[in-house]
Amino acid sequence: MQTESAEQPPVIDLVDPELYAKGDPFVQWRWLRAHQPVYWHEPTQYPGFWVLTRYDDIRAAYRDAAAFSSAQGILLRPESHGADPGGGRTLALTDAPRHRQLRGLVDGWFSLRSARAMEEDVQSVVRQVVDDALERGTCDFVTDVAARLPLYVICKMMGIPGADWEKLFTLTSDAFGAGDPLTRRLAHLDILGYFEALQADKAKNPADDLVSVLATASVDGERLSPDDVILNCDNLLVGGSENTRIATAGGMLAFLRRPDQWQLLSDSPELLPSAVEEVLRWTSTATHIMRTATRAVEIRGRRIAAGDRVTFWLPSANRDESVFEDPDRFDIRRQPNRHLALGFGEHFCVGSVLARVEMRLLYGELLSRSIRVTLEDEPTLLSSIVVNGPERLPVRMTAV
């Protein structure tokens, strides 16, 4: 990759997965922020799209949900993959008023009051996950710690029987890992098949859980179709586990590489809330979010046509020099910290409160029990344009 400068810009290729696994995407984002903050990315295996890299532009576009639609997909997809089957049907892939109606069905489950009521259950899961990791001694912090906590919690909220949690853990690991594409596809089909059976059971025998809420819900006087329930269950499972897993592991990696920050947190545990916010900013695990322009829009003199795809590069926004002082420094004391890691506006992450609780309790457990975490080997980063962070984080965990 060419070095960054105004005279010799870097080669801009944001759809190369290896850039995130082995390269440095911040070189490209930094140059774009400075020189072409609204950039047209030529078609590759993906259709052409606009790139927004500055905080203020992305925040304004998030706010204008009428001009920037989610219903046609929120992630870049190769031309050969066609449209996202969840378009216009799931919580993440709908616009108002449908989005607000679907969100209204589940919002109460993810409120601050609900999260506080669940803290004891979450703490119990945290202890079990940490105990199991300590028993192993050496483990993959991504798979054995960071992945299990949010998945077990969302499974409990969805009413998935405890006996099936390990099955869902294996399926989600296969479906959303970096393995063979056929293996990923088959595992995802198995997840959808699992929810097909579960939603049918919950429709007949509803209980106090999220799947029952969706399986018995009506919007505009019509029951959600079984397919819509299944797709929304899949949406909640992924949304409730994937990004929290990567952010938690990415935060641990940041602490391992900056032991002074972990020591500061150990000495001042009251900094846990601000530490979690800095982890979210620093990791910014959703690499990009896509919208489709519903009408012609002008941003910084560039005309975006109706129907154009517009992408928000969140890690870039959260390192914007015009918003964050010394943005390339990991600082758990950072205030203010109005990052966009969890989105903004109408599509602000529904599980944001719960994600913060999970991360706070996990890091708090490690600190309160004086558990030492040390790197056993170099981490492996995800080869993906969708989410970024550790794929593997080999560590040794010992109780001091």
Q: What pTM, to 2 d.p., does this model score? A: 0.95
What per-residue confidence (pLDDT) applies to 178?
60
Helix, coil or strand: residue 55: helix
DSSP string, 259-325: HHHHHHHHH-GGGHHHHHHHHHHHH--B-EEEEEESS-EEETTEEEPTT-EEEEEHHHHTT-TTTSS
**How many Å separate Cα 68 from the centre of its chain?**
20
CA-based nearest residue to 316, from 6, 24, 119, 106: 24
What per-residue confidence (pLDDT) applies to 1?
34
| Cα–Cα distance measured from residue 355 to residue 366, given in angstroms and rounded to the nearest whole number | 17
pLDDT tens digits, residue range 64-123?
999 999 999 999 999 888 788 888 999 999 999 999 999 999 999 999 999 999 999 999
Those residues of the chain that have pLDDT short of 50 are 1-6
- Cβ pair 155, 168 in contact under 8 A: yes
Torsion of CA 88, 383, 285, 42, to 10 degrees: -60
CA atoms within 13 A on the CB side of 380: 11
What per-residue confidence (pLDDT) applies to 179?
64
